[in-house]
Amino acid sequence: MAQRPVAVLAFVALFAALAYLGLCGALFLQQRSLLYFPQPRSREAAGELLALPIADGPPGSRVLVTVHRRPGLKALLYFGGNAEAVAGQLPLLEAAFPEHALYLMHYRGYGGSSGQPSEAALFADALALFDRVRADHEHITLLGRSLGSGVAVHLAARRPVAGLVLVTPFDSIEAVASSQFPLVPMALLLRDKYRSWADAPRVNAPTLLIAAERDEVIPRANTDALLAHFRPGVASLVVLPVHGHNAVEGSPSYLSLLREFSASRSAL
């Protein structure tokens, strides 16, 4: 009779171990479908399209970029969130950056772009877009939102950008995921880690971070951790009194902040 409780405990422990391994396996296999949510490009979307060839893809593969052309030295590159149809940001960006040509990148698999999204792919495409735009515009500002903040920080650490705006940014996807799954070794499972904290010290451009007071997707602690990795005097943080990851854009102060940052780049 004494052996029965031991057997039950052993069965429970085995079941828990198998369930844990199953969770880890599911997260590993499905991680990119949990991180990226490709959106189609709306037929009503404004702006012309620029097609960037994908160097590491099959012949004819391309990344599409929604463009609003303006003459002059200034341009803005926009990198959106993981479930965003970026062309929808065009009216706001036109109002916020009236002196800048606008380039809004559709990640691989998004908005008619070829391929599948990944950290390496997004980083490579952002660098290619910068180099293409730099041929026409000397002063390039970056705006990255949510997932796009990781792309923008990576790019700003490797190219001479004029300014950097990060909306609801994180220190790393690895850290955000670890807070959501504290018992899972996310550092070992994740392929796409977006370690912005590692690139932040290399950024020289004036940088503005914009966060929500309460963000259910990217905790404020992850934004504060990113801010701490910029060199002194490079970056500043504005916290808007809104609740929700997507509520920042609805704040009356959001457009004003972007306009102020744009105006600060006008002296270039």
Kindly indicate the confidence band of residue 190, based on its pLDDT and cuts at 50, 70 and 90: confident
2 has a pLDDT exceeding 60 = no
Q: What percent of the chain has pLDDT above 70?
A: 86
Q: What is the pTM of this model?
A: 0.90
Kindly indicate the confidence band of residue 85, based on its pLDDT and cuts at 50, 70 and 90: very high
The pLDDT of 193-220, averaged and rounded, is 97
43 has a pLDDT exceeding 90 = no
133 has a pLDDT exceeding 60 = yes
What is the reported pLDDT for 127? 98
Q: Which range has the worst mean pLDDT, 11-25, 223-237, 253-267?
A: 11-25
Q: What is the pLDDT of residues 242-265, one digit of tens each?
A: 999 999 999 999 999 999 999 987
Beta strand 163-167 pairing with 139-145? parallel
Q: What is the pLDDT of residues 141-181, one digit of tens each?
A: 999 999 999 999 999 999 999 999 999 999 999 999 888 77
